[in-house]
Each structure stands twice: as structure tokens, then as C-alpha cells.
Amino acid sequence: MASPAERLRIYFVTYNVATKFPDPQQDLHQLLGISLCGEPNPWPDLYFVGLQEVKSQPQNLVLDYILFEDPWTKAFRDVLKRYDYVKIRSQRLQGLVLNAFCLRKHLTSLRLIEVQYTKTGFGGMWGNKGAVSVRMNAYGVSICVVNTHLTPHDHLLADRISDYNTIVTDHTFTVSDTSKILYHDYIFWIGDLNFRLNGEDLTASDIESLVKEKKLSELLERDQLKAVMTEGQAFAELNENGITFPPTYKYEFESQEFDLKRRPSWTDRILYKVNAVDIYDDVELSAKQRSYKSHPSYSVSDHKPVTGEFDITVRPSVKDYIVEFQECTVKESFVSYKLPRDFAPNNGDWIGLFANDFSSLDDYIVYEYVGRGKSTSVPGEPHATSTDQIFFNDTALRPSEMYCLVYVAQRGDFTEILGVSRGFSGPRRSIERHVPSM
């Protein structure tokens, strides 16, 4: 399912939205690299959308976490679902949000999906600053994406350095081989890193003039992030492609003009690292960055969003176990499915009933847990597999609509999608929707 060149294409968005809501007049297609006049060639296999300063009023925060997507996540999902993308995980820390989407055809090739966060605000007591992440294995390689919002202001460089070192030290996953961010095969670090330009002699007006004269290189020589990377104080393990776009902060709202109350700077960045030294016998890991740019036409915020697109080498020869559903119908209130040899279901595993065009794993209609007395073995199957059944109340189905079943393995803190059935139609009779109690 990976491309013939054994690569995956990954598209990143980082956007500080300054507590504003999406503007219906500013279409997100261009930000996602999708032309309304044509199709990407090829489509990105994965999208990661990192947001900062998403509105998070304390009185709404708990409900937002539990029941609702934030408006920005919903806006991005509404676009991507038209092109067969599914949101696989989302992680939020107050105003900091990271969403992972993949093409539907890759769902059962992702393993050990886990999310994490680290607070750095007020000495780690508060989540107004910090990091959120998604890690996963895809076609035999491990990928970690980190979205951060670090300490602001020109004079607090030492705090930004401290934020980074806190995150790489304290941010821990349960997958033992990749328990730390920098242990993964591929690391992508995005966000509002808040690094500014060195030199009190450089005024906001000076910066604006140099930008208009297209003398970006003179400004980038003063970039704090490049300086601390060179000195080994922070982000030294990562790489960044050359910047060819103007500073992404600070702009007047609803404008493409700088707000000179603050010195413009490149706060919004995309960095990466490939651990490529003799890791695998069958492939040499590599990442090729295809684009790195800002999008000045988006003006809802005082920041401009930044995007980057990469092709990474993967190992499609690595085969994973898959749960196979039998004939895609719900007969007599049960569904049959085949488990791979030597696969033991966990008590947290569940099978969800979804609309066939679902765009998030949160969109299940009903679900049943596997292995809690509701599945029974069926004799006569080959020794390589075992066939089980799971029971659903078919009154959850609407007449003539299309559905599918998804096997989700829940192993502690991480998730795996082990099987997706073909689409099937609901019963051709008039029924009321009913969700059984769990």
C-alpha cells in the first residue's frame, strides 16, 4: 500500500490561531496543498496539523476535551474527509492541539499509535506552554511528531532553551524501543517555537525594510533558533531546510502588513531528524523535504501558517497481522471475523459499527468489546486462524445506508486499527435508531 518507491508522503501544518475561530471566507484547501482545480500528485499519505492558541476557556475546556472537537480541528477534518482521510488521533493541552490524519487505505498499516503531552508553563505547573505529540509505526518505521508552543518574548531565550530540554527529557512513551522523542526513526518537530532575532539595534522598522528589500539572509543570521542549534543549546539534534519566506510573526489582524509594535520574526517552524545509521538491513532511511513555505493570504491571526511536505523511506515488506471480517453483512445480529494465528485479543479491544464514510475513530455508532463473553469460536476453520463472532443489536442500522466494521486494539496507552470491513448496507426496513448500553 505504500508507493512503489517505498516512500510515504507526509504533510505538516503549524498555525498559531491567536484564539480566533476559523474564517469561513478563508478556504483551507490551499493551506493543505489541495488545489480545487486538480488533485495532488500523489496525495499525502499522512497529514499532521499542529495548532497553537486554540481558544480554550476554562469553563468549556472539560466539555471540549470529552464531547467536542475544537472549531479548527473540525474545519480541517471537514475538508480532508472529502478526500478519504480519517482522523486517527488528536491530542490537546489547553490551547495546543495536534491532529493526525491518514488516507483510509493506510489505516490497518499503522501500529502503536500513542499520544503524549508535557507542560512547561510556570515551571511545568501549567499547560499554557508545552508540547503535544503523536507517535506511531507505519510500514515498519517509527515516526514521532511533536507540536510545541514555547516561552515568548525577545529576552526570554533561556526559557525557550529550558522548555526544549525539559520536553526531550520528560516526554515519555510506553513503547520501550522508542520511549523518548529522539529515539524514533523519524522525528518532526513543529510549532510556534517563539525564537526571535538577536540584537537590540535591530528595530521592527529595520526588519520590515530588510524584508521588503528581500534581504532575508541578513535577518536569518540573527535568528535565535539557528544560533542555539549551532551552539548545541537546544534543537541541535534536528535539521531545518532553508527559509525562503518572510517572518511569520507579528502581523496586524486581517492584514498582510506587519504590526510594528513587536519585532517581526520566524516563530513558526518545522524541524526534522532521521536516525539513519545502519538501523535496518533492508532499507536506508531518508527524508526528502519537498516544500517549506508560509501562507500569507491567511490573515485571521497575527501569525502566518507554515507548511512542509516530506517523502520518507519506509519498509513495506514488513507485514502486520490483520483481522479479517467475513461477508460484510450483519446477519441474525452477529458478525464473524477471523483472528490471525497467535493473536490474543485484549479485554480493551473493541469492534465499532461506523458509517462507511467515517472520518474519525470517534464517529462510531455503537461498539462492543471483544472477549467479554459476547464472542464465540466457530469450529472447522484452518489452524492458521480462528473465527469468532460478535453480537450487535441491528436496530442501530438505518435502512439502505452503508456501514462498515472496525476492529480497534487498545493496548494500554496506544491504539491500533487491525481490521476494517467492506461496506455493507443496513436492513431494508423502517427501524428507529437505538444505541444499546455498554
The pLDDT of residue 398: 73
The CA distance from 304 to 16, in Å, is 8
Q: How confident is the model at residue 119 (pLDDT cuts 50, 70, 90)?
A: very high
The pLDDT of residue 121: 73
The pLDDT of residue 39: 67
Cα 88–Cα 16–Cα 7 angle in degrees, nearest 5: 40
Residue 319 inside a domain? The answer is: no
Residue 123 pLDDT > 80: no
| Model confidence pLDDT, tens digit, residues 379-432 | 444 444 567 777 776 666 777 788 899 999 988 888 999 999 988 887 654 333
Which amino acid would we find at residue 33?
G
- Residue 63, SS3? helix
Same-domain pairing of 298 and 369: no
Same-domain pairing of 249 and 344: no
Domain with residue 18: its CATH number is 3.60.10.10
Domain with residue 351: its CATH number is 2.60.40.2840
Same-domain pairing of 288 and 346: no
The pLDDT of residue 272: 98
- Whether the CB-CB separation of 325 and 370 falls below 8 Å is answered with no
Same-domain pairing of 179 and 52: yes
| Model confidence pLDDT, tens digit, residues 231-242 | 999 999 999 999
The pLDDT of residue 58: 53
Q: How confident is the model at residue 375 (pLDDT cuts 50, 70, 90)?
A: very low
Same-domain pairing of 97 and 219: yes
Same-domain pairing of 40 and 19: yes
Length of the chain, please?
438
Same-domain pairing of 268 and 302: yes
Output 11 or 6, whichever has higher pLDDT.
11
Q: How confident is the model at residue 436 (pLDDT cuts 50, 70, 90)?
A: very low
Burial status of residue 227 (CB atoms within 10 A of its CB: 0-12, 13-18, 19 or more): middle
Same-domain pairing of 342 and 287: no
Number of structural domains found in the chain: 2
Domain extent at residue 400: 324-426
Q: How confident is the model at residue 330 (pLDDT cuts 50, 70, 90)?
A: low
- Whether the CB-CB separation of 187 and 141 falls below 8 Å is answered with no
Q: How confident is the model at residue 190 (pLDDT cuts 50, 70, 90)?
A: very high
> Which whole-number Å values give the CA distances from 136 to 175, 277, 321, 338, 380, in the listed order?
10, 20, 16, 25, 36
Backbone angles phi and psi of 354, in degrees to 5:
-125, 155
Under the phi-then-psi rule, with left for phi > 0, alpha for psi from -120 to 50, and beta for the rest, what region is 435?
beta
Same-domain pairing of 179 and 283: yes
Rounded CA Rg of the chain: 23
Under the phi-then-psi rule, with left for phi > 0, alpha for psi from -120 to 50, and beta for the rest, what region is 139?
left
Percent of the chain with pLDDT over 70: 84
Eight-class DSSP state of 249: B
The CA distance from 70 to 431, in Å, is 33
The whole-number average pLDDT for the span 119-123 is 77
Residue 279 inside a domain? The answer is: yes
Q: Which of 138-142, 314-318, 350-354 has the lowest mean pLDDT?
A: 314-318
Same-domain pairing of 182 and 163: yes
Q: Which of 1-15, 279-293, 296-310 has the lowest mean pLDDT?
A: 1-15
Q: How confident is the model at residue 331 (pLDDT cuts 50, 70, 90)?
A: low
The whole-number average pLDDT for the span 135-153 is 96
Q: How confident is the model at residue 56 (pLDDT cuts 50, 70, 90)?
A: low
Q: What is the mean pLDDT of the chain?
A: 86
Residue 435 inside a domain? The answer is: no
The pLDDT of residue 347: 83
Residue 374 pLDDT > 50: no
Same-domain pairing of 14 and 65: yes
Tell me the pairing of strands 7-16 and 46-52: parallel
Q: How confident is the model at residue 229 (pLDDT cuts 50, 70, 90)?
A: very high
The pLDDT of residue 344: 80
In this structure, how many other beta carbons lie within 10 angstroms of the beta carbon of residue 19?
13
In this structure, how many other beta carbons lie within 10 angstroms of the beta carbon of residue 317?
11
Written as nine digits, the cell of 425 is 448496507
The pLDDT of residue 429: 43
Domain boundary among 283, 313, 343: 313
Which of 337, 430, 321 minimizes the C-alpha distance to 375? 337
Output 143 or 64, whichever has higher pLDDT.
143
Same-domain pairing of 126 and 204: yes
The whole-number average pLDDT for the span 125-144 is 89
Residue 78 pLDDT > 90: yes
The CA distance from 43 to 145, in Å, is 19
Domain boundary among 255, 282, 313: 313
Residue with cell 542555539: 228
Residue with cell 518537530: 189
- Whether the CB-CB separation of 396 and 435 falls below 8 Å is answered with yes
Residue 318 inside a domain? The answer is: no
Q: How confident is the model at residue 127 (pLDDT cuts 50, 70, 90)?
A: low
The whole-number average pLDDT for the span 152-168 is 96
Across 123-132, 215-224, 344-353, the highest mean pLDDT is recorded for: 215-224
The whole-number average pLDDT for the span 280-308 is 95
The pLDDT of residue 376: 46
The pLDDT of residue 277: 79
DSSP assignment of 377-420, as one string? EETT--TT-EEEEEE--GGGSPTT-EEEEEEEEEETTEEEEEEE
Q: How confident is the model at residue 276 (pLDDT cuts 50, 70, 90)?
A: confident
Which amino acid would we find at residue 402?
M
Residue 431 inside a domain? The answer is: no
Domain boundary among 268, 291, 313: 313
Q: Return the C-alpha torsion angle 405, 409, 412, 415, nearest 10.
A: -80
The whole-number average pLDDT for the span 167-180 is 94
Residue 438 inside a domain? The answer is: no
